[in-house]
Amino acid sequence: MSVSPVILWFRNDLRLQDNPALNAAVASGGPVVPVYILDEAGEGTWPAGGASKWWLHHSLAALDASLRDRGSRLILARGESGEVLGDLITATRAHAVYWNRRYEPAVIARDKTLKADLTASGVEAKSYNSALLFEPHTIANKQGKPFQVFTPYWRQCLTQAVAAAAPLKPGPLPAPTHWPESATLADFALLPTIRWDSGFHGVWTPGEAGAHKQLKGFVAEAMSHYEDRRNLPAQPGTSRLSPHLHFGEVGPRQVWAAVRALSGDSGVFPPSRGAQVFLSEIGWREFAHHLLFHFPHTPEQPLRDDFKRFPWADDHDASKLTAWQRGQTGYPIVDAGMRELWQTGWMHNRVRMIVASFLVKHLRLPWQHGAAWFWDTLVDADLASNTLGWQWSAGCGADAAPYFRIFAPVTQGERFDVEGAYVRRWVPEIARLPDNYLHAPWTAPDNVRAYAGIEGRYPDPIVDHVTARQEALTAFKALRGHVEERDA
C-alpha cells in the first residue's frame, strides 16, 4: 500500500538545504508535493511591495529549477491559503501539510486558524522553525517578559545553544505519480510593466545558489574587516545578505555555521572582532522578530505610547516627502542613499539611518511614511526589521536612538564618505565639486559651482539644518520636557 503525499508549503524559506519542513516531508516516506501560494490578502495590511515582488519572481524560478534538478517541481497557486491547500489535498489525497513558521502578526493569526482547520479535518499539520536562531517565545527576561533593549536580549540569546544546520540528503526527492495543476510565474504578474527594475539585474542574484555565493564571499573576504568598514557606503564592507535571509534562501543557522567554520582547530569563536560584530547584526534581526511577535501593533503604531501625540509637521502638498523619495533634498548623502535605493532596491545601512533621521527630524514627517516607502522599494523589505529600524530612528521604539540625537547630514557625509566616492556615484551632477564642498554644495563660491556645472541641475537644501534641528528639538520638548541637545 502506497503512502499518501505530504504537501510542502513553501513561504519565506525558498531553499532546499537546512529546511526543516522539507527534511520532515522527505522523512515521512511518501511523495512530496512542493507548493508556493501567492496569498496577498493573507499578508494583512503588508502585502509585498514592488521590489520584493521582483525578488520573489526570480527566487521562485531558482527554487523550481533546484527542485527539478532533484526530480521534483514547484506547484504555483494563487488565492486564499486555506482554500488552495484544501484543493491540493483533494487533488493529491495528501495526508499532511508541512511548513516553516513565520512571525508577522497577520500570518500568525492565519496559520493558527489554518492549522486548527486542517487538524479538525483529519489532515496532519506540522510547522517548523527555519527562519530564526531563537524563536520569539523562547527568550524572556528574568520577569518572564519580552526584552525591549538589545544588549541584554542578545546576551541572553548567547547563553542558548544554536541548533546545527540540517543538510538535505543527496539524490532525487520523492515525487507523486501525478502532479496537480500549477499556475505559471507569469500568472503571478510579479514583475513590473514599466521596467524600473533595470538596475537590479546586475546587482543581485536571487535564489539559494546566489545566497551561498554571497555568504561565502563575505565570510572569506570582508568579514574580518566588518567592524571598520561596515559604516563606509563606498566600500564593499557589508554582507548584503538581508534579502537572501528575508526570503529564506539562506538560513541564520547556515550563516552561524559558516562563521564558526573559520574558527578551525583554534576553537576560538567568533574568530575575529569583525565576526563578533557581524553576528551581533544577525542578533538585531532576531531582536526585530522578538519585538514584532510580542508587540504586534508596532508596524503602524509607536511602541512608546507618548509618541502618538508627537507634533509632526504639515506637508499638505507632500512636496517635501516627494523630494526625499526622489533624492532631491539638496543634501548629497541623503540624496545618494535615496537614489541607490530606487536604482538597486537596496541602501547601505549607515545611509538608511541618515535618510531616516532626515525624514523624521529635519522634515519632521511621520516615520510611517518612510516605512511605507522602504517597504515598496527595498528588495530586503522585512516587516520586523523595517519596523525596528524606523522606530529606532524616530526614537519611539525599543532600544531607540534618543529623538534629540539628530544626524547632521553634512557631518555624516564628511565622516563616512570622506573622499566622496559614494555621493559622486549616485549624485553625478555634483561629481566635479571639490571634496571640501561636495557634502554642502550650497556653500561653494559661484565660480566653483559654475566650474562644476551644477547650477540648475541640483537643488539647494529644502530645509536649513540649524532651523530644522531646532524645530525638531522644540517639538520633542513639547512632548517630553527638557532634553539634552546634541548632533551626531
Q: How confident is residue 485, by pLDDT bands cut at 50, 70 and 90?
A: low
- 477 burial (CB, 10 Å; 0-12 / 13-18 / 19+) is middle
pLDDT at 325 over 70: yes
What is residue 398's predicted lDDT score, i.e. its pLDDT?
87
From the list 349, 414, 442, 471, the catalytic residue is 349
Those residues with Cβ within 8 angstroms of residue 257's Cβ, 6 or more apart along the chain or in another chain: 164, 165
pLDDT at 481 over 80: no
349 has catalytic annotation: yes
Containing H/E element for 374? helix 367-377
pLDDT at 97 over 60: yes
Q: How confident is residue 1, by pLDDT bands cut at 50, 70 and 90?
A: very low
From the list 99, 390, 392, 426, the catalytic residue is 390
CATH of domain 305-487: 1.10.579.10
What is residue 181's predicted lDDT score, i.e. its pLDDT?
97
Averaged pLDDT of the chain: 95
Name the phi and psi angles at 412, rounded to 5.
Answer: -65, -40
Q: Cβ(333)–Cβ(222) under 8 Å?
A: no
373 has catalytic annotation: no
pLDDT at 484 over 60: no
**10 Å Cβ neighbour count for 329?**
25
312 has catalytic annotation: yes
281 has catalytic annotation: yes
284 has catalytic annotation: yes
What is the average per-residue pLDDT within 254-266? Answer: 88
SS3 389: helix
Q: Angle at which helices 273-294 and 252-261 pack, to 10 degrees?
A: 160
Class (C level, CATH) for 6-129: alpha beta
Q: Cβ(331)–Cβ(411) under 8 Å?
A: no
From the list 231, 284, 414, 429, the catalytic residue is 284
Q: For residue 374, what is its C-alpha cell?
A: 522602504
pTM of the model: 0.96
From the list 9, 99, 346, 367, the catalytic residue is 367
Tell me the sheet residues that pair with 77.
37
What is the average per-residue pLDDT within 198-216? Answer: 97
How do residues 160-202 score in pLDDT, each as one tens digit? 999 999 999 999 999 999 999 999 999 999 999 999 999 999 9
SS3 content of the chain, % helix, strand, coil (to 5): 50, 5, 45
What is residue 13's predicted lDDT score, i.e. its pLDDT?
98
What is the average per-residue pLDDT within 470-477? Answer: 91
What is the average per-residue pLDDT within 296-302? Answer: 97
Q: Give the rounded percent of residues in the chain with a pLDDT score beyond 70.
A: 97
How do residues 362-396 score in pLDDT, each as one tens digit? 999 999 999 999 999 999 999 999 999 999 999 99
In the chain, what are the domain boundaries? 6-129, 132-166+210-294, 305-487
Is 132-166+210-294 a CATH 3.40.50.300 domain?
no
Q: Cβ(10)–Cβ(127) under 8 Å?
A: no
What is the average per-residue pLDDT within 443-452? Answer: 96
What is the average per-residue pLDDT within 231-259? Answer: 97
First to last CA, the chain: 70
pLDDT at 409 over 80: yes
From the list 179, 196, 312, 442, the catalytic residue is 312
Q: How confident is residue 405, by pLDDT bands cut at 50, 70 and 90?
A: confident
What is residue 482's predicted lDDT score, i.e. its pLDDT?
47
From the list 80, 227, 281, 414, the catalytic residue is 281
What is the average per-residue pLDDT within 344-348? Answer: 98
